[in-house]
Amino acid sequence: MLFQKVEEKDVTQAIVGEFSKMLSEYAESDVIIVGGGPAGLTAAKELASRGVKTLIIERNNYLGGGFWIGGYLMNKVTVRSPGEKVLDEIGVPYQEYVRGLYVTDGPHACSKLIAAACDAGARILNMTRVDDVVLREGNRVAGVVINWTPISALPREITCVDPVSLQAKVVIDATGHEAEVVSALVKRGLMKVRGYGAMWVERSEDAVVEHTGEAHPGLIVAGMAVSTVYGLPRMGPTFGAMLLSGKRAAEVALELLQKK
Amino acid sequence: MRIFIYREPGVELSLASTADYLAGKGARVELRGSFFSRFANLQEAAGKIAGMRISDPSRPAVEGEPLYGEVKYELRVLRGEAKAGGVVYDGFLLQNYMRGLLPRREVGLDKLHLSVTPRLLATFDEDDRRYHLRAIILGYPAIISTSGIVEAPAKPREFYLQRRLLGEDALAEARIKQKLREKLLDYGDPRMEEVLKGYALQALFYQLFGEAFCESTRCRLYNAHWQEELLAAQFSQPELCEKHKKMLERWRSTPP
């Protein structure tokens, strides 16, 4: 027989035991990143590699968001300079298409970015959705309320499964256009958003990176969630801004952690 | 005439040659740093500017309650810690605010305040009920937008036709721009400061004579709506038409 003999209960205990240990340990994190797309993964890599206790919450079973494919379901992704520096950091080959515009393979880049975040020490809760936020004095965001994705997809009347809460010193909303954490604050009347804009597409990538930051006390927005909050132009299938927005979000998170 | 040129954070040009150019026309020119650092409390200015964003191009902006993050972003831009981009501001709201910040001793018909900003500005046109991007907001103070010089005049017709054919993604656009680089102005273009001098001259003429534009396509004061026209007007010789050349000469020969 090729494999070691183990009993079914051993497999179950390994899964439950290790998951419970991780969940218990990360019931309080330094930073919770909601959304495991390119911006969230880059932020996670940056923070975890600096010893910050970082947890990624992802509603799908897979990480990477839209980073697996470029436009029109074709799996070549483009980044404008200086986004290629992140590709260098994670060891992804690319080619310069025209001056300052680089093309790489989506699957290669995405899998390397996921690996980089994991290697740096970030932990991941996938198949998990954010239902609400944990608030403290001055309505500062101090964590998130979560539930399993399948539970969220079912009508409340037939599920009745209460969520659980996780605390963090800083929360990053990297959930893309839906801006799920921000939406929880909007529902409570604690925040407003501008919605999508349609102007000055030329500079939309710069704008997303430059607007990445604390949008509400304790809450940083990154990636396309930034566009939703500030009404910035939507952009085409180019990912440099997502990677650099993730980096910027990590810088802001480090500044906030130092202040605490 | 004294001209004070303000260089806002994020403007990549030194503006020294613009200052020399205006001095060559007979003005006393002083190159200053940021207008807001000199005359405003930056935290307050950030809140005011954040409220001047245009969210709907078909409705005039009213100074509104800015978002927490918008104020933080504007403060970083004012401090030179972030780049201005992706946002369009109401040019007249900004100009009115800046006028109110100028101390009494700095105001006068013999003083032109000229702010050069990287922010993209637009003004609402009551005729067609929509905003139009602007390279310059004439008046007091005059504001020249370096991003407006790139974005406001239309690019060559081929640019839009080829974009329809090749697609609007970054790859296609980069290729089209490379092909048409002689006919259009892009960010970081080495011709930018020369073009900016023409707008600065418009501001000076407006201050001196209440007339900024010329109908001649060969005069530097031509109000170009296309980038090709703009480049042609700014690089043609002689730089001014006979009428505007004489106006300037008359002013120079008149004792203050």
- What angle (nearest 5°) sits at the alpha carbon of residue A83, between those of residues A50 and B74? 80
CA distance B109 to B127: 30
Give the nearest chain B residue to A207 (CA atoms): B86
DSSP H helices, B136-191, are 146-151, 157-166, 170-179
pLDDT surpassing 90 at residue A198: no
- What angle (nearest 5°) sits at the alpha carbon of residue B19, between those of residues B37 and B207? 85
Burial of B109 (0-12, 13-18, 19+ CB in 10 A): exposed
Question: What's the gap in Å between the CA of A97 and the closest CA on chain B?
Answer: 8
Indicate yes or no: CB of B87 within 8 angstroms of CB of A232: yes
Chain-centroid distance, C-alpha B110: 21
Determine the pLDDT at residue A256: 97
Cβ-Cβ contacts under 8 Å, A244 against chain B: none
Which residues of chain A are at the B interface, by a Cβ-Cβ cutoff of 8 Å? 71, 78, 80, 97-101, 103, 191-194, 197-200, 202-204, 206-208, 210-211, 213-217, 221, 229-233, 236-238
Give the nearest chain B residue to A220 (CA atoms): B69
Tell me the pairing of strands B130-134 and B120-125: antiparallel
Cross-strand partners of B123: B132
Q: Which residue from B87, B174, B178 is facing A207, i.e. has the nearest CB?
A: B87
**What does the CA dihedral B163, B164, B169, B170 come to, rounded to 10 degrees?**
0
Task: Return the number of CB contacts < 8 Å for A and B.
Answer: 91
pLDDT surpassing 60 at residue A201: no
Report which of B226, B233, B223 is spatially closest to residue B155, judged by C-alpha positions: B226
Burial of B96 (0-12, 13-18, 19+ CB in 10 A): middle
User: How confident is residue B177, by pLDDT bands cut at 50, 70 and 90?
Assistant: confident
Q: Which residue from A98, A194, A215 is facing B174, i.e. has the nearest CB?
A: A98
Q: Coil, strand or helix: which one is A78? A: strand
Determine the pLDDT at residue A160: 79
C-beta neighbour count of B26 within 10 angstroms: 15
CA distance A189 to A170: 20
User: How confident is residue B121, by pLDDT bands cut at 50, 70 and 90?
Assistant: very high
User: Which of A137-141, A232-236, B103-107, B161-165 has the lowest average pLDDT?
Assistant: A232-236
Cβ-Cβ contacts under 8 Å, A236 against chain B: 168-170
Query: Over the stretch A215-226, which tens digit does the pLDDT of each residue have?
Result: 999 999 999 999
Give the nearest chain A residue to B132 (CA atoms): A199
Largest CA distance in chain A: 64
Determine the pLDDT at residue B102: 97
**Sign of the CA dihedral running B175, B177, B179, B181:** negative
Indicate yes or no: CB of B67 within 8 angstroms of CB of A78: no
Tell me the pairing of strands B136-137 and B130-134: unpaired
User: How confident is residue A156, by pLDDT bands cut at 50, 70 and 90?
Assistant: confident
Helix (H) or strand (E) holding B91: helix B91-101
Residue type, B103: P
Indicate yes or no: CB of B69 within 8 angstroms of CB of A214: yes
User: How confident is residue B168, by pLDDT bands cut at 50, 70 and 90?
Assistant: low
Cross-strand partners of A79: A102
Q: What is the pTM of this model?
A: 0.82
Determine the pLDDT at residue B33: 96
